[in-house]
Amino acid sequence: MSDMLPHSVRAELAAALAAQKARKSRLRVRDGERSWPVLRCWSKGFAMAAEGAPHLRGLVDLYEGARHLGQCLIVAASEEAGEMRYDFKRAPSAGDSQPLDFERPDDAPIALLPR
Question: Cα–Cα distance between 44 and 75 in angstroms, integer?
Answer: 11
Return the pLDDT at 64: 87
Q: What domains appear along the chain, each with residue ranges and CATH number?
A: 25-90 (2.40.10.430)
Q: Does the predicted model carry a pTM greater than 0.95?
A: no
Question: Cα–Cα distance between 29 and 71 in angstroms, integer?
Answer: 10
**CA distances to 3, 46, 87 from 14, in Å:** 14, 19, 24
How would residue 93 be classed by pLDDT, with cut points 50, 70 and 90? Answer: low
**CA distances to 77, 95, 108, 114 from 111, in Å:** 47, 20, 9, 10
How would residue 98 be classed by pLDDT, with cut points 50, 70 and 90? Answer: low
Question: Quick check: 94 pLDDT over 80?
Answer: no
